[in-house]
Structure 1
Amino acid sequence: MLHTASPSDILSGRTTDIYFARTVEVLKNAGFADVRVRAEFHVASLPRGFKWAVFTGLKEVVEILRGRRITLYALPEGTLFYENDPIMVIEGPYLEFAVLETAILGVVRHYSSISTKAARVKKIAGEKTCLFFGARALHPAIQPMADRAAYIGGCDGVATVMGAELLGIKPSGTMPHALMIIFRAVAGDHTLAWVWFDKTVPSEVPRIVLADTFLDEREEALLAAKLLGERLHGVRLDTPGSRRGNIRRIVEEVRWALDLNGYRNVKIFVSGGLDEPQVEALRDVVDGFGVGTSIAFPPSVDVSMDIVEVEVGGRWIPITKRGKLPGFKQLYRCGIRHVAVPWGSPPPCGEPLLVKWIEDGRVVREIPGEAEIRKYVLEQLSEVEL
């Protein structure tokens, strides 16, 4: 048995916290089953040192709320937001979505956290390739979701077959150490793994070989270049931490040796335990990165949902718990700043960001494809600092 929730489990509210299910029964018994509210999702806090985050997960939120008697306002998926920004509002009978709060918060928080970390890494990597290799750090049930979050957050590609298929892109990857180990044990020569890889995989797959399995990285890189010649696209260094030493020095040595021997076109990719500091330290000497765990397990973007208005006698009453700002709000983009004002107030500047996605259960706006959302994220990244 796999301990995973099915789509029907999520849509029916079975993944809720129990206190929401009990709240539903209390409100029904009290005669408040039809009370309408406006519930705001906002950023309670950003991870330490983060100035912004990336809003993602809207596509799945729309699927969760589709057909229910609610109206949904939200930022466009991929919008950068700041602490205390309202990012989404649900309007309608509270009991229509009470048992879905847990699932919706989980979607938005998890998605946005992964996308934000991917965006930070891509911001540092710049024009260098950044691939998401984090599937093995996650339960397989959520790998496609993480691939999507990382891709629209800025990663140039993902490694899993299903994740790439759902994104409409080709999966990215090289070869595992297992391939060289088996050839070494059975055939006595691990470099034959590169030769058979070249003979076997489709020609459109770049020939990128692991160059750190048994020998020095410089030695293996040169062996691969001599064996595959012009067909060799690049080498990947995934040197274990116990042997790594100064990885920048290792990369510089490999680059020097390749150039010296006439292999200037062979690219160098690095993977294994990378985070923002390592990417920043290597971005000028490598051609690309494979980043896994740090994106798959990012610092959490803390999103909360709070009722900010309740309809009583046909009038909307601003109300919320202490520490929160009551009232339905609109968020405006004013350059790289965001300004929140009461809904219906004169625009302080710029463009309104909260737009309607669902009206009375009917989806009224189409969410763009993943490539378009990713482009939108990258455009915003060019305007902000880490």
Structure 2
Amino acid sequence: MRTFAAQERDIVEGKVTDVYFERTMRVLKAMGLANLRVKMEVHSYGLPHGYQWAVFAGLEEALRLLEGRQLDVYAMPEGTLFREVEPVMIIEGPYEEMAIYETALLGVLRHSSSIATKAARIRLAATNKTLFFFGLRSAHPALAPVLDRAAYVGGVDSVSGVVSRDYFGLEPSGTMPHALVLAVGDNESAWKAFDEFVEPQVPRIMLVDTLEDERTEALKAARLLGKKLTGVRLDTPGSRRGNFRRIIEEVRWNLRINGHGHVKIFVSGGIDEEDILQLRDVVDGFGVGTSIAFPPSVDLSMDIVEKYVNGQWVKFTKRGKWPGAKQVYRCQGMQDHITLMEEKVEFQGCRPLLRQYMSAGKIIQSLPSLKEIRDYVISQLSQLELIK
């Protein structure tokens, strides 16, 4: 059986491209311009509505895509928060070396940045509460590693994908599905079997909304497992929620007065930023899926901003964009200044964000670990005010 997923070889060979790039190259070759040296800039001139920043993600995969081609690449470090107009990447070299890769390159950066940005917004809203990413069922399975990686970069505490253990060394986390309760036939037998057969290092977090009232099932689980019960998860469907906050408060009250105040409460099921803001003071953690896996798109585009003509670089681009390859200086309080790359400027206490990662197709910077990228994102979020 074959899935309808492009193979890595097809992507690296440039087959995953838009046909107009193939046609463009045929025209330029016929005109003797295929070797025209250009600087192309990746940037966003339109973040999703209400967004003031986005998270740059997907750099490592983008570099692997361009590796071996006669290109120099400058970029912000992966995980950097950026704003509209700011360049996140500049690619310099013969246009024929990059033309057919624009489609795949933007796909990598745009998809990963969109997921990481939403995850970071969720992280910011959730403050210090635990965040699980359960969004793999929202997308094609071929994308599972991409989703888990970008969500983790954006700040979730753990991901559910088993495959991510092999790809990234991320130990998957999860609770239990309704299917276990339904297959066993009753909730108490399912909880007991889970406790008996699942590895002891896995936290005992029991699903408590399958067959009975959440308050009833939560107390049953607590009485059955006692101190072994880490928490309960409410995945109450929308048709039964009513006032979800009141349901959660009722469950917590009844656990506490019956001697089970140690039991944590986790919620899932269509959770987004607004839900988290409304519930974060009454729960211990969230399972978030679709809202991260299918986020508003961070609209990254890629444009020629300079070309080498008659022995000199000419700053030249389409209408609506700023000509010239640029640098971004970040100052205290995440205040940024955009300059031309070659400008010699000094901003007190500021640092340039774009650095060279590739020279003539060779990666020249050591790339950080996923944890280091995630920590970098979290450190920047700590400088922002909480979402109101």
TM-score (norm 1): 0.98
1:301 alignment partner AA: V
Q: Which residue is 1:293 aligned to?
A: 290
Distance 1:10 1:50 in 2: 31
In 2, Cα distance between the equivalents of 1:211 and 1:190? 8
Are the aligned partners of 1:339 and 1:348 in contact in 2 as well (CA < 8 Å)? no
User: Are 1:115 and 2:113 matched, yes or no?
Assistant: no
> Does 2:326 correspond to 1:325?
no
**What's the counterpart of residue 237 of structure 1?**
234
1:204 aligned counterpart, secondary structure: coil
Tell me the residue number matched to 2:102. Answer: 101
Map 1:113-192 to 2 at 5 A: 113-184=114-185, 189-192=186-189
Q: Is the 8 A contact 1:194 1:224 kept in 2?
A: yes
Could you tell me how far 1:348 is from its partner in structure 2?
Answer: 4.4
Partner of 2:224: 227
Tell me, in whole angstroms, the C-alpha distance in 2 between the residues paired with 1:17 and 1:169. Answer: 34
Deviations 1:259-283 (A, max 9, x none): 0011111100000000000011111
- Residue 12 of structure 2: aligned partner: 11
Instruction: Give 1:165 deviation, angstroms.
Output: 3.5
Partner of 1:217: 214
| Residues 86-141 of structure 1: per-residue CA shift (max 9 Å, x gap) | 11000000000100000001111110000000000000101100111100001000
Alignment of 1:247 onto 2:248: no
Residues 230-282 of structure 1: per-residue CA shift (max 9 Å, x gap)? 11110000001110111110110010011001111110000000000001111
Deviation at 1:2, TM superposition (A): 1.4
Contact 2:164/2:171, CA 8 A, preserved across alignment: no
Q: Would you say the 8 A contact 1:328–1:342 is kept in 2? A: yes
Q: How does 1:249-288 map to 2 (within 5 A)?
A: 249-288=246-285
Helix, strand or coil for the counterpart of 2:187? coil
The separation in 2 between residues aligned to 1:182 and 1:56, in whole angstroms, is 40
Does the Cα contact within 8 Å between 1:233 and 1:265 map onto a contact in 2? Answer: yes
Counterparts of 1:120 and 1:164 in 2: how far apart (Å)? 25
| Distance in 1 of aligned mates of 2:149 and 2:307 | 35
User: Which region of structure 1 is more displaced relative to structure 2, 336-345 or 238-247?
Assistant: 336-345
1:74, distance to aligned residue in structure 2 (A):
0.3
Letter in 1 for 2:318: K
Q: Is the 8 A contact 2:304 2:316 kept in 1?
A: yes
Pair 1:39-2:40 in alignment: yes
Secondary structure at the aligned position of 1:38 is classed as strand
CA contact (8 A) 1:51 1:82 kept: yes
TM-score, structure 2 normalization: 0.97
Counterpart secondary structure, 2:321:
coil
Specify every segment of 5 or more residues in structure 1 that has no aligned partner in the other structure, as ranges: none
**Counterpart contact for 2:113–2:150, Cα < 8 Å:** yes
Q: What is the aligned-residue RMSD (CA, Å)?
A: 0.9
What is residue 345 of structure 1 aligned with on the other side? 343
Q: Does 1:378 align with 2:378?
A: yes
Measure, in 2, the Cα distance between the counterparts of 1:282 and 1:175.
22
Amino acid at match of 1:347: V
Match of 2:309 among 303, 309, 312: 312
Q: CA deviation at 1:338?
A: 1.5
Answer yes or no: is the 8 Å Cα contact 1:58–1:77 preserved in 2: yes
Distance in 1, Cα, partners of 2:289 & 2:47: 21
Look up the SS of the partner of 2:52 in the other structure: coil
Instruction: Point out where structure 2 has 5 or more consecutive residues left out of the alignment.
Output: none
CA shift, 1:202, in A, is 0.6
* CA distance in 1: counterparts of 2:34 and 2:130, whole angstroms: 53
Amino acid at match of 1:380: Q
User: Which residue does 1:52 correspond to in 2?
Assistant: 53
Residue 24 (structure 1) aligns with: 25
How many angstroms apart in 2 are the aligned matches of 1:70 and 1:169? 32
CA contact (8 A) 1:147 1:164 kept: no
Deviations 1:313-333 (A, max 9, x none): 221111011111111111110
Alpha-carbon separation, structure 2, partners of 1:260 and 1:165: 44
Partner of 1:354: 354
CA distance in 1, matches of 2:141, 2:78: 24
Which stretch has the larger CA shift, 373-382 or 331-340? 331-340
- Distance in 1, matches of 2:211 and 2:336, equals 53
Give the whole-Å Cα distance in 2 for the aligned partners of 1:128 and 1:80. Answer: 22
Give runs of aligned pairs for residues 57-68 of structure 1, distance below 5 A.
57-68=58-69
Give the length in aligned residue pairs.
Answer: 382
Question: Matches of 2:300 and 2:179 in 1, distance apart?
Answer: 41
Aligned-residue offset at 1:3: 1.1
For 1:224 and 1:69, locate their aligned partners in 2 and report how far apart those are by CA, in whole Å. 61
Q: Which amino acid aligns with 2:177?
A: P
Distance of 1:206 and 1:314 partners within structure 2 = 65
1:267 counterpart letter in structure 2: K
Q: Residues 161-196 of structure 1, C-alpha deviation per residue, up to 9 Å, x if partnerless?
A: 012432312111011101111121xxxx33100001
Deviations 1:321-354 (A, max 9, x none): 1111111111110221221101121234210000
